[in-house]
Amino acid sequence: MLTLCELHIATQTKIDCRVWLRRNRLLPVNMTCPWCNSVMEECQYSRVSDGVIWRCPAKQCRVTVSVWKGSLFENPLPLTKLCELLRWWRHSSRHCRHSIWVFGGVELGMDQFFMVLVLHRDANTLMPLIQCHIHPGTRIRSDEWAAYARLNQVGYIHKTSTIPSTTWIW
Ligand SMILES: [Zn+2]
């Protein structure tokens, strides 16, 4: 199973990331042209941040699509997909020598979120991450994990709530 260190090594470059995502079935390996059903080819394309796109090889077509098409990264990530991703992370890290936790937050109604891989879930680990990613004064809703106990003391409006276990990931 994957350790955090191995994950960093496996995803150092854009190419490494695509290989790793495809190996873990998070990114399509093949793409069919949405216009003519030809098998598309992955091509270098400097105008996109990823540096590659899928291109239809048919001369009369040449349609291009993002390498993220068909993946859960294609559109802004809906919360249901985010939950799937986090569940997958948790499952895949369960048997690691060192457990890897995904710590994150979601801005309700905005589809904005952050996710960070962490080795520990204590306040010393999580508080700096919260202060880095969440503006002071923000209302934060979480479970009753002890690491969040001081949120009100450091400038947040913290409420705890019971979240059904089927949707509680970390
Ligand atoms: Zn085509």
pLDDT, tens only, 6-43: 777 788 788 888 898 888 888 899 999 999 999 999 99
Residue 38 CB burial class (10 angstroms; 0-12, 13-18, ≥19) = middle
64 CA to centre of ligand 1 in angstroms:
8
30 CA to centre of ligand 1 in angstroms:
14
Q: Are residues 58 and 108 in the same domain?
A: no
Among residues 81, 65, 133, 78, the alpha carbon closest in space to that of 109 is found at: 78
The answer to whether residue 90 is domain-embedded is: yes
Q: Are residues 153 and 100 in the same domain?
A: yes
128 CA to centre of ligand 1 in angstroms:
49
Q: Cα(20)–Cα(7) distance, rounded to whole angstroms?
A: 9
Residue range 35-55, pLDDT digits in tens? 999 999 999 998 888 889 999
The b-or-e profile of 82-113 (16+ CB within 10 A means b, else e) is: bbebbebbeeebeeeeeebbbbbbbeeeeeee
The answer to whether residue 103 is domain-embedded is: yes
Question: What pLDDT, on a 0 to 100 scale, did the predictor assign at position 158?
Answer: 92
67 CA to centre of ligand 1 in angstroms:
15
44 CA to centre of ligand 1 in angstroms:
17
Residue range 101-152, pLDDT digits in tens? 778 888 877 767 777 878 888 999 999 989 988 999 999 988 888 999 999 9
Q: Are residues 46 and 97 in the same domain?
A: no
User: 43 is written with which tokens?
Assistant: 């091509």
The answer to whether residue 106 is domain-embedded is: yes
24 CA to centre of ligand 1 in angstroms:
27
Per the structure, the count of domains in the chain is 2
The answer to whether residue 168 is domain-embedded is: no
- Position with higher pLDDT, 168 vs 79: 79
Look up the pTM and report it.
0.48
| Average pLDDT over all residues of the chain | 81
DSSP-derived 3-state class of residue 139 = strand
| CA-derived radius of gyration, the chain | 20
| Parent domain of 116 | 79-160
The answer to whether residue 169 is domain-embedded is: no
Is the CB of residue 145 less than 8 Å from the CB of residue 121? Answer: yes
